[in-house]
């Protein structure tokens, strides 16, 4: 009989929140997103119930004008 011990933390299969700091120093929290990408003049955050990020089944969660974003941080769930 072999005993198996996990060697790392579990897989992140849910979206983790992002903190978006805008140029006017306001802070927006984006919950339920697991990835983001540039779409023309916008930065769009996507989420999904599946463990893989950004595929054709991803759902748009939030969008911000890229020129207004000064920082994006991923927060611990």
User: Residues 36-48: pLDDT tens digits?
Assistant: 999 999 999 998 7
Contact 32, 15 (CB under 8 A): yes
pTM here is 0.73
Of residues 5 and 70, which shows the higher confidence score? 70
The shares of helix, strand and coil residues in the chain, as percent rounded to the nearest 5, are 5, 45, 55
Q: Which of 73, 76, 42, 12 is nearest to 62 (CA)?
A: 42
């Amino acid at each position: 009989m072999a005993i198996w011990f996990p060697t790392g933390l579990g897989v992140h299969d849910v979206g983790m929140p992002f903190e978006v700091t805008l140029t006017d120093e306001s802070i927006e929290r984006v919950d339920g997103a697991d990835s983001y990408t540039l779409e023309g003049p916008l930065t769009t955050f996507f989420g999904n119930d599946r463990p893989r990020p950004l595929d054709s089944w991803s759902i748009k969660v939030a969008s911000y004008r890229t020129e207004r974003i000064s920082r994006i941080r991923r927060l611990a769930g």
